[in-house]
Structure 1
Amino acid sequence: MNFSIVIPLYNKAGLVEMAVRSALAQSFAPLEVIVVDDGSTDDGPDRVAAIPDGRVRLVRQANAGVSQARNRGIALARGEWIGFLDADDWQHPDLLRNWARAHVSVPQADILAAGFRCIEGTQEPEPWSVAAMNPVEVVADLHRRWMRDIPFFTGSVAIRAQRLRAMQPCFPPGESCGEDLDVWFRVAEDSPVALVREQLAAYRTAVAGSLSSAHGTTLPPFLERMRARALAGTLSADQRRSALWFVAQQEITLARAQLAAGQRAEAKQSLARARYAGFGTRWMLTALMLGLPGAVASRWQSWRLAASDVYSHQGSAQ
């Protein structure tokens, strides 16, 4: 098997070389590293072009957004598997080797993934020690697994190229909030995920220009589409239940964000739409918040939201 790594680039001159080097330095060598420059105005593309390795392919396009950049990389990729890496993140040297092991362990899986760690600052990480043989978890229900803890992120996932090409445009054009989750969940709705239980990539926090989601007060489009697929009857019965439950959990979190913003009427509507979550602990706590005086509820929920990022790299706490 072989891997193509796709890196979308927009104004990350200070970090993109580290990202590319991490992909090239794999103990299981990638077939190619495709950097799609999405109209950068800094010298990041020139720095990539100067990297003396024939496996690096630089493609330039007018600014069209991260989704279009990734879709173009998919269209150009020659590998059997396509891995993803953002220009400000980093991959451990043993990531691809472990992806290959995961494929051997779970050959029916169309998604290979691994854990990750968060790092701060702009320094290049030092590779940390990892076990020679890491356990591989078979994730059959990504919706419920995601709510336990975030198992992987963009820089630690690879998908079978044949599957991605059949889904083109894979990443929803024009979207940059949950556009990656949209792809992972759509593939996982009819394929297990082979998850290596080891931190094998680094997600860089607090980077200027990062596309990581912030707490909004509207439901991201990918969740609306997930609910529509479930209600349309296109999913298995188990996946339908899990998808509706997952969206309901995000509606609860949305209700809390709206409450923190003082949008009490909108919060009540979001909580009402979360009926597929039943009357669980999170639903009941949120209903309790709505019953408190407005200023008290807003302060309480603002404090709770400060600790988590719902739609991207952090789980939803109770």
Structure 2
Amino acid sequence: MPNLVSIIMPVYNAEQYVAEAIDSVLAQQHDYWELLIVNDGSTDRSDEIIRGYTDARIQYFKQDNAGVSVARNVAMQAMKGDYFCFLDGDDQLTVSSLSSRLEVFAQNSKLSFVDGAVSNRTEDLSKETSQWMPNFKGEPLSDLISLSGKSFFGVTWMIKRAPNYNYAFDPSFTHGEDLWFYIQQAKNHQYSFTSEVIYLRRISAGSAMSNLHGLANGYLSLEAKLSQLDIPPCLLSAYRAKRKSIMFKSYLRAGKVLSAFNYYFKT
């Protein structure tokens, strides 16, 4: 019996792209999967489009708008897979996304997480603008906290389910919830990756300043969580230095010089 993979997909007002996201799952080379779609209070035609799919492997849930973390938690409570991974409602998986990661798992029974390359693309997915490639193997806890970017890009890990473990995102986060989710599981577990592209990420137009302020606050919220963990002080210091550097440069690129210096020296 092949391994069942649960694919967690939150959807919020994604009528323009949700069909493409679902179609990318239907096209998988590894076809033993379940797709758990959670409609997080969409007010567009997302519901109508999702209901148009009749494949028995698709499970559909609806909730009032409560955020992506709550939506993912609903799906994870219902999942039955031996492994699970994530797909946002406006992105796509490549056809070998599941099979290539499962192949890495098959080569090493000690692995808990397998990642892969991510293709950042224009809004219509027609052109790649950049590519992220993992560059880390081993226990990823220190790498995640240090924000090196070698083992973390977003919710692109495939995770081998551990028995009797309650997987859940922290809904108090507005940004950085995926990084905190991984950090909570990373200790004493092994990470690896496939060099194949496993995820197509759509870069959509949005409010740059809104995203920047949210990201800045997310980093601060994560630091407060990290300070409660039993981690070496030098690692927490490394996190603080890196998040200040990231946001300082991000604000400067956006032309917000005062915000850059305020964040760097006052947080």
- In the alignment, is the contact (CA less than 8 A) between 2:123 and 2:202 conserved in 1? yes
Match of 1:283 in 2: none
The offset of 1:184, in angstroms, is 1.6
SS at match of 2:38: strand
The offset of 1:203, in angstroms, is 0.8
Match of 1:251 in 2: 244
SS at match of 2:119: strand
Match of 2:131 in 1: none
Match of 1:202 in 2: 200
Could you say if the C-alpha distance between residues 30 and 160 of structure 1 is closer, same or farther in structure 2, counting changes exceeding 3 Å? same
Could you say if the C-alpha distance between residues 158 and 122 of structure 1 is closer, same or farther in structure 2, counting changes exceeding 3 Å? same
Could you say if the C-alpha distance between residues 125 and 35 of structure 1 is closer, same or farther in structure 2, counting changes exceeding 3 Å? farther
Could you say if the C-alpha distance between residues 48 and 114 of structure 1 is closer, same or farther in structure 2, counting changes exceeding 3 Å? same
Structure number with larger C-alpha Rg = 1
Residue 139, structure 1, aligned to residue 132, structure 2: no
The offset of 1:225, in angstroms, is 1.0
Q: CA RMSD in A?
A: 3.1
The offset of 1:149, in angstroms, is 3.8
The offset of 1:147, in angstroms, is 4.5
Residue 262, structure 1, aligned to residue 255, structure 2: no
SS at match of 2:60: strand
- In the alignment, is the contact (CA less than 8 A) between 1:92 and 1:201 conserved in 2? yes
- In the alignment, is the contact (CA less than 8 A) between 1:92 and 1:202 conserved in 2? yes
The offset of 1:213, in angstroms, is 4.7
Inter-partner Cα distance in structure 1 for 2:69 and 2:151: 22
The offset of 1:49, in angstroms, is 1.2
The offset of 1:143, in angstroms, is 4.1
How many residues align structurally? 252
Match of 1:173 in 2: 171
Q: Choose 190-199 or 52-61, whichever is displaced more.
A: 190-199
- State which of 97, 101, 104 in structure 2 corresponds to 1:102: 104
Inter-partner Cα distance in structure 1 for 2:81 and 2:212: 33
Inter-partner Cα distance in structure 2 for 1:89 and 1:102: 23
Could you say if the C-alpha distance between residues 190 and 262 of structure 1 is closer, same or farther in structure 2, counting changes exceeding 3 Å? same
- In the alignment, is the contact (CA less than 8 A) between 1:255 and 1:268 conserved in 2? no
Whose helix fraction is larger, Structure 1's or Structure 2's?
1
Match of 2:38 in 1: 36
Inter-partner Cα distance in structure 1 for 2:86 and 2:15: 18
Inter-partner Cα distance in structure 1 for 2:216 and 2:171: 22
Relative to the length of structure 1, the TM-score reads 0.69
Could you say if the C-alpha distance between residues 106 and 226 of structure 1 is closer, same or farther in structure 2, counting changes exceeding 3 Å? farther
Inter-partner Cα distance in structure 2 for 1:254 and 1:71: 29
Superposed, 1:68-83 pairs within 5 Å as 68-83=70-85
Could you say if the C-alpha distance between residues 137 and 255 of structure 1 is closer, same or farther in structure 2, counting changes exceeding 3 Å? closer
Superposed, 1:202-281 pairs within 5 Å as 202-207=200-205, 213-214=211-212, 216-218=215-217, 219-229=219-229, 233=230, 235=231, 241-255=234-248, 260-263=256-259, 264=261, 267-270=264-267
Match of 1:185, as an amino acid?
A: I
Inter-partner Cα distance in structure 2 for 1:115 and 1:152: 11
Could you say if the C-alpha distance between residues 217 and 98 of structure 1 is closer, same or farther in structure 2, counting changes exceeding 3 Å? closer
Stretches of structure 1 that go unaligned for 5 or more consecutive residues are 127-134, 271-318
Inter-partner Cα distance in structure 1 for 2:197 and 2:142: 21
Inter-partner Cα distance in structure 2 for 1:213 and 1:19: 23
The offset of 1:81, in angstroms, is 1.2
Match of 1:160 in 2: 160
Match of 1:198, as an amino acid?
A: E
The percentage of aligned residue pairs carrying the same residue is: 22
Whose strand fraction is larger, Structure 1's or Structure 2's?
2
Q: Deviations over 1:158-177 (max 9, x none)?
A: 223336x6244x21114230
Relative to the length of structure 2, the TM-score reads 0.81
Inter-partner Cα distance in structure 2 for 1:23 and 1:155: 16
Would you identify which runs of 4 or more consecutive aligned residues in structure 1 move more than 6 Å?
A: none
Match of 2:176, as an amino acid?
A: G
